[in-house]
């Protein structure tokens, strides 16, 4: 294989076997595997998926897993088949989980022991017949991952895979409350890998700490394919305790650490951080919300010489789109940075006219920088395309030096600790409560001890006449139906919602 043949992420994996067979590919819970050792397990799993489960090129394979080596193996086995990796957020509640799996049309679901209880009951309602591959436990009438990787089921064909073929189906929350499946083709992923290498200066020698959820784009779009392309190492962990993460960095000589500002707030304030040798660390990269200047200053005090990169991208964009260099981390800390090469942006007004620098309007991306379509929703993405530009719904400005600043969200997206929450989705759930008459949800700035979260979800509730409601009732109601980060942190009760003369709720009066 020569470099001109690297046209799919399967090519990345196959090339890694030839170029870096003895390099460490993955580390998990104290055990490490070389690329050659990983491929033996990947090939065993691939043969079972094809022979036992009839998974073929173009089929979707759902993965309801926390960060683990099984995710890594299932990802590459699916890629080698030419099937479509379909990550499922492990924090989803029943209705959300059911929709994602049903919409993806997956017939095979990898499911972890921690997720099995809810998945077994919830996924019984999807229209397609599901077969489960269990990870970390055995279940009657399901296949066990650990047994599948232990033996090969026999040789299988290698279908031709083209750059235009879909590789990943990534669901994103929508304002309708129904997650949309953004399709990522192989050629899109290759473009993203190039952008990631440019943005974060990835190297062959890197050892990446993969603590961001593997069901997120950063892991599946950037880190896993980049590691295969460069022959570098990924240390996989589901751990969120920063003391334990510091131990992993020291133990494995980790060089890059990606996460949300919330995590780095705890790292910067960790007592006893000096006990760990973190001298190998060269990069901390964060996204999802603005890093407080106090956190940046403390990180620089405690980890001098470590670069701090803010980066930005959307599930609909085929790459991370912006990066803020470390030298601008404080002076321009509220900026997402400048567009990466071959990422084309503009700011438009309500009429679609491009605005001059310094004026606030809607952030748009060139059509070529955006996914082709939403799975099973033909034409829906086109509704956000105007004159070849994708309208994000986010308000932003570009300053005179080319730095981009987000100023608000037309789609009312709230970012809590790096997780996206859409107001309408939360409103629809609260309205299901029998005592609720009206509700409006807004994002408010996190202050005090919760500053590190960036924003908080605030629900303003109008009870039905004669009914009384308590804050805990609303929170419990939401917790049963929504992922934990979508549950309102603040609940306020009013007799009525403020409206303009046309009847539209004035959300600015609720902040």
| pLDDT at 252 > cutoff 50 | yes
What pLDDT, on a 0 to 100 scale, did the predictor assign at position 508? 79
What pLDDT, on a 0 to 100 scale, did the predictor assign at position 492? 96
Confidence of residue 175 (pLDDT cuts 50, 70, 90): very low
pLDDT tens track for 282-307: 999 998 767 878 889 999 999 999 99
Eight-state DSSP code of residue 437: E
Rounded average pLDDT over 477-488: 94
What pLDDT, on a 0 to 100 scale, did the predictor assign at position 12? 97
Rounded average pLDDT over 227-256: 97
Of the listed ranges 25-34, 119-128, 207-216, 492-501, the one predicted with least confidence: 492-501
Assign residue 93 a region (left: φ > 0; alpha: ψ between -120 and 50; beta: otherwise): beta
Owner of token pair 């940046």 = 296
Rounded average pLDDT over 396-425: 83
Q: Which residues pair with 209 in a beta bridge?
A: 235, 257
Give the SS3 label for residue 166: strand
Answer with the residue of higher pLDDT: 92 or 194.
194
Describe the chain by its helix, strand, coil percentages, rounded to 5. 35, 25, 40
pTM, entire model = 0.84
| pLDDT at 225 > cutoff 90 | yes
Rounded average pLDDT over 44-48: 98
* Spatial CA neighbour of 412 closest among 396, 400, 430, 394: 394
Highest average pLDDT, of 2-16, 73-87, 341-355, comes from 73-87
Rounded average pLDDT over 8-12: 96
pLDDT tens track for 364-403: 999 999 999 999 999 999 999 999 999 998 888 999 999 9
Rounded average pLDDT over 54-63: 98
Q: Which residues pair with 438 in a beta bridge?
A: 462
CA distances from 88 to 57, 63, 119, 424 (A): 20, 6, 11, 21
Confidence of residue 435 (pLDDT cuts 50, 70, 90): very high
What pLDDT, on a 0 to 100 scale, did the predictor assign at position 127? 92
Answer with the residue of higher pLDDT: 261 or 282.
282
What pLDDT, on a 0 to 100 scale, did the predictor assign at position 502? 44
| pLDDT at 436 > cutoff 80 | yes
Rounded average pLDDT over 175-199: 88
Mean confidence (pLDDT) of the chain = 92
Rounded average pLDDT over 446-464: 92
User: How far is Cα 435 from Cα 193, in angstroms, rounded to an integer?
Assistant: 50
| pLDDT at 3 > cutoff 70 | no
What pLDDT, on a 0 to 100 scale, did the predictor assign at position 105? 96
What pLDDT, on a 0 to 100 scale, did the predictor assign at position 226? 97
Confidence of residue 177 (pLDDT cuts 50, 70, 90): low
User: How far is Cα 195 from Cα 202, in angstroms, rounded to an integer?
Assistant: 10
Beta carbons of 233 and 24 less than 8 angstroms apart: yes
CB atoms within 10 A of CB 297: 13
Give the SS3 label for residue 209: strand
User: How far is Cα 27 from Cα 109, in angstroms, rounded to an integer?
Assistant: 24
| pLDDT at 272 > cutoff 70 | yes
Rounded percentage of the chain residues whose pLDDT exceeds 90? 77
Confidence of residue 192 (pLDDT cuts 50, 70, 90): very high
Confidence of residue 411 (pLDDT cuts 50, 70, 90): low
User: How far is Cα 416 from Cα 98, in angstroms, rounded to an integer?
Assistant: 24
What pLDDT, on a 0 to 100 scale, did the predictor assign at position 235? 98
pLDDT tens track for 77-124: 999 999 999 999 998 888 889 999 999 999 999 999 999 988 988 998
CA atoms within a 13 Å half-sphere pointing along the CA-CB vector of 420: 22
Beta carbons of 274 and 246 less than 8 angstroms apart: no
Rounded average pLDDT over 239-262: 95
Give the SS3 label for residue 265: helix
Give the domains, in start order, of the chain with CATH numbers.
3-209 (3.40.50.12780), 413-510 (3.30.300.30)
Beta carbons of 113 and 134 less than 8 angstroms apart: yes
Eight-state DSSP code of residue 292: P
Rounded average pLDDT over 462-482: 93
DSSP element (H, E) containing 233: strand 233-236
What pLDDT, on a 0 to 100 scale, did the predictor assign at position 407? 74
């Amino acid at each position: 294989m020569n470099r001109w043949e690297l046209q799919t992420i399967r090519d990345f994996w196959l090339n890694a076997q030839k170029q870096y067979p003895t390099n460490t590919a993955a580390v998990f819970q104290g055990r490490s595997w070389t690329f050659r050792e990983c491929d033996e397990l990947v090939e065993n799993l691939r043969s079972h998926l094809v022979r036992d489960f009839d998974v073929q090129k173009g089929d979707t394979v759902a993965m309801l897993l926390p960060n683990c080596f099984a995710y890594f193996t299932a990802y590459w086995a699916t890629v080698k088949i030419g099937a479509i990796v379909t990550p499922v957020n492990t924090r989803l509640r029943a209705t959300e989980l059911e929709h994602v799996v049903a919409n993806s049309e997956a017939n095979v679901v990898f499911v972890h022991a921690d997720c099995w209880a809810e998945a077994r009951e919830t996924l019984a309602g999807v229209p397609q017949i599901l077969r489960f591959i269990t990870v970390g436990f055995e279940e009657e009438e399901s296949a066990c991952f650990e047994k599948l990787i232990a033996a090969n089921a026999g040789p299988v064909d290698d279908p031709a895979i083209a750059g235009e073929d879909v590789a990943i189906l990534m669901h994103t929350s929508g304002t309708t409350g129904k997650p949309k499946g953004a399709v990522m083709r192989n050629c899109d992923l290759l473009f993203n890998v190039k952008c990631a290498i440019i943005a974060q200066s990835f190297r062959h020698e890197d050892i990446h700490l993969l603590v961001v959820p593997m069901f997120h784009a950063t892991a599946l779009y950037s880190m896993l394919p980049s590691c295969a392309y460069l022959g570098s190492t990924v240390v996989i962990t589901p751990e969120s305790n920063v003391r334990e993460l510091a131990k992993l960095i020291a133990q494995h000589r980790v060089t890059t650490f990606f996460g949300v500002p919330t995590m780095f707030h705890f790292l910067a304030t960790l007592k006893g951080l000096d006990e760990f040798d973190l001298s190998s660390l060269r990069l901390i990269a964060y996204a999802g919300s603005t890093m407080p200047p106090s956190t940046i200053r403390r990180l620089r005090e405690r980890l001098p010489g470590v670069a701090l990169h803010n980066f930005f991208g959307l599930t609909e964009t085929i790459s991370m789109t912006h990066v803020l260099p470390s030298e601008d981390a404080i002076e321009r800390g509220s900026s997402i940075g400048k567009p990466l090469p071959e990422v084309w942006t503009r700011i438009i007004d309500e009429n679609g006219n491009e605005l001059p620098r310094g004026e606030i309007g809607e952030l748009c991306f060139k059509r070529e920088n955006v996914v082709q379509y939403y799975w099973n929703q033909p034409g829906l993405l086109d509704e956000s395309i105007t004159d070849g530009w994708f309208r994000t719904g986010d308000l932003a400005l570009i300053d005179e030096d080319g730095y981009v600043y987000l100023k608000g969200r037309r789609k009312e997206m709230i970012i809590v600790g790096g997780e996206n929450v859409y107001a309408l989705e939360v409103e629809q759930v609260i309205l299901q409560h029998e005592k609720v008459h009206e509700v409006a949800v807004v994002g408010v700035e996190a202050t005090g001890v919760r500053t590190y979260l960036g924003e908080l979800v605030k629900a303003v509730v109008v009870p039905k006449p004669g009914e009384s409601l308590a804050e805990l009732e609303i929170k419990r109601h939401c917790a049963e139906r929504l992922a934990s980060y979508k549950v309102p942190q603040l609940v306020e009760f009013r007799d009525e919602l403020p409206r303009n003369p046309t009847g539209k709720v004035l959300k600015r009066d609720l902040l």
